[in-house]
Amino acid sequence: MLEISSKKFSNYWEVYICGELDVSNCDKLKEFLNKLFIESQIDIKIDLEKLDYIDSTGLGVLISILKKLKTSNKELYLVNPKQNVEKIFNITGLDKIFNME
């Protein structure tokens, strides 16, 4: 189960993800983030505080939106990851690619 919500601020989107992000639901996040990008090309901050699990397809979605944002000189920030989620980014080396807070 994956729940996604967002709030727009003047210069960035705050996105909240709750549940598990895996192959069964990563398209839902991809569509959601792409719609935000189309609506307003500003930075995106994704709050991972309530994300319990992420697999490689979920990481792929985050990488694809990061690339899209970079083409518009915008940033993707990942904030408040749980220890097990942060560990995945560390193991894969993606903590060096993403802005982790």
For the whole model, what pTM was predicted?
Answer: 0.94
Q: How far apart are the first and last CA of the chain?
A: 25
> What does the pLDDT look like over 73-93, one tens digit per residue?
999 999 999 999 999 999 999
Which ranges in the chain belong to alpha helices (H)?
26-39, 56-71, 83-92
Res. 69 pLDDT band, cuts 50 70 90: very high
CA pair distance 47, 77, nearest whole angstrom:
8
% of the chain residues with pLDDT over 70: 100
CA pair distance 25, 5, nearest whole angstrom:
15
Joined tokens for residue 7: 């709030």
pLDDT over 90 (residue 101): no
The reported pLDDT for the residue numbered 95 is: 95
Q: Render the burial of 4-15: b for 16+ CB within 10 Å, e for the rest.
A: bebeeeeebbbb
pLDDT over 90 (residue 14): yes
What fold characterizes domain 2-100?
A: Transcription Regulator spoIIAA (3.30.750)
